[in-house]
Chains A and B, each alone.
Chain A
């Protein structure tokens, strides 16, 4: 969905490096989410944010941090990357206004930690 963009799309890094994944949206949604996807598994929630001042941990937040710089931007950081953080990372957005509160996903970032 072009309304939700993620950068970079692919990243290879080394153990111990700090990595930031960025997400931007033009949908005007107030809620944003970060998920990771591992082969054979469903998406698991890392962090979610209801607005700029409201950030919450998901089920697998250890080793990750986030920043909601603006309503349209939500970044995910790995302070010291480790190999088991190799995964596909997806950003999603949703709205609390109107009848449509569906989560819309970005195209994903493939992260490899060597």
Chain B
């Protein structure tokens, strides 16, 4: 089976709240992790990434946390907006180097209620 999976297939939040999307992985050799956002009718769009030598990385309104001990990845979105509604995928890279072979999780659908 897939080694990259999600704890919650759907997540519904109120506008302005913070969102947390979780992802589990099973391959200890994975060294690079990425979150993608996919809006309806579009291709996945890069949000943020993190390498295995880091525990936390922040972007604009987004934070990715990596817990290598329990092989867990999370995406936190601050002050969630209607435009954040999309499917979010985590992906892991097992190539041990350059990012060329990604394994994707099944995705979480985030719905933001006004």
- Taking Cβ atoms with an 8 Å cutoff, the residues of A that contact B are 1, 4, 31, 40-45, 48, 50, 90, 92, 94, 96, 101-108
Contacts and interface: CB of A to CB of B under 8 A. Distances in A.
B4 interface: yes
Contacts of B100: 31, 48, 50, 94, 101
B102 interface: yes
B99 interface: yes
B32 to A, nearest CB: 9
Contacts, number: 53
A45 B106 contact: no
Interface residues of B, number: 23
A101 B100 CA distance: 8
Give the most central of B42, B89, B100: most A CB within 10 Å.
B100
B44 A105 contact: yes
Contact of A96 (B36, B98, B103): B98
Contacts of A105: 36, 43-45
Interface in B64-91: 89, 91
A108 B42 contact: yes
A101 B89 contact: no
Given A40-B106, A42-B106, A94 B89 contact: no
